């Protein structure tokens, strides 16, 4: 038999300006990993922490993520022909917060660049070097679809998770 959740704890609402907190909380019940997306610019590396990453297609290999339109850094990503998405490991929470606070957080670090000039971060669980495939309107976000040109991953290591607005460690059983 399927057990129903106790109805007392369920919060029903219609999304509106008054219920934005509830919508954010409901979205936050979907556990995600955490990524850092990088682009190379005349000003040096620009980065953003993003949990909106999703794999999309195997053939062709496509992924997506969503920068908020009002973000100071979104234009760098919307206009970039190439970018890289780094899936963070559990011990990279410091990197996650530093990049979330400062788009120039990677400046001054000795980062390798790929052949398209995109800065690459080491020590991640997986990395997807992408060429922009499409940009779609997604309300107050843009949806950037990338074609994966090169990918890498490591076998070992726990993941950095984001759930109910908090970071946590994702482990395998």
Ligand X SMILES: Cc1cc2nc3c(=O)[nH]c(=O)nc-3n(C[C@H](O)[C@H](O)[C@H](O)COP(=O)(O)O)c2cc1C
Given the rule CB under 6 A, which residues bind ligand X?
Answer: 34, 48-52, 66-68, 71-73, 100, 103, 162
Cα–Cα distance measured from residue 140 to residue 59, given in angstroms and rounded to the nearest whole number: 29
Sheet with 166-170: strands ordered across: 32-33, 159-163, 166-170
The radius of gyration computed from the CA coordinates of the chain, to the nearest angstrom, equals 17
| CB-nearer residue toward ligand X: 70 or 115 | 70
Nearer to ligand X, 36 or 120 (CB): 36
How far apart are CB 103 and ligand X at their closest, in Å? 6
| Shortest CB 90 distance to ligand X, Å | 13
CB of 65 to ligand X, least distance (A): 6
Q: Which is nearer to ligand X, 6 or 165 (CB)?
A: 165
CA distance linking residue 63 with residue 92, whole number of Å = 22
Cα–Cα distance, 38 to 145 (Å, whole number): 14
Residue nearest to ligand X (CB): 52
Q: What is each CA distance from 14 to 10, 19, 20, 23, 74, in whole angstroms? A: 13, 7, 10, 9, 29
Q: Pick the closer one to ligand X by CB: 9 or 70.
A: 70
Minimum CB separation of residue 96 from ligand X in Å reads: 6
């Amino acid at each position: 038999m399927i057990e129903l959740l106790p109805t007392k704890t369920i919060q029903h609402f219609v999304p509106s300006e008054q219920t934005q907190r509830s919508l954010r909380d409901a979205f936050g019940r979907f556990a995600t990993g955490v990524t850092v997306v990088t682009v190379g610019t005349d000003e040096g590396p620009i980065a953003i922490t993003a949990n909106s990453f999703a794999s999309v297609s195997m053939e062709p290999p496509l992924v997506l993520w969503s920068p908020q339109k009002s973000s100071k850094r979104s234009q760098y990503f919307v206009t970039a022909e190439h970018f890289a998405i780094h899936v963070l490991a559990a011990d990279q929470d410091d990197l996650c917060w530093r990049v979330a606070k400062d788009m120039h957080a990677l400046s001054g670090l000795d980062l390798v660049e790929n052949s398209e000039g995109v800065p690459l971060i080491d020590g991640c669980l997986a990395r997807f070097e992408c060429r922009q495939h499409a940009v779609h309107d997604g309300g107050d976000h843009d949806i950037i679809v990338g074609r994966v040109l090169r990918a890498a991953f490591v076998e070992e290591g726990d993941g950095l998770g984001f759930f109910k607005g908090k970071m946590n460690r994702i482990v395998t059983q």
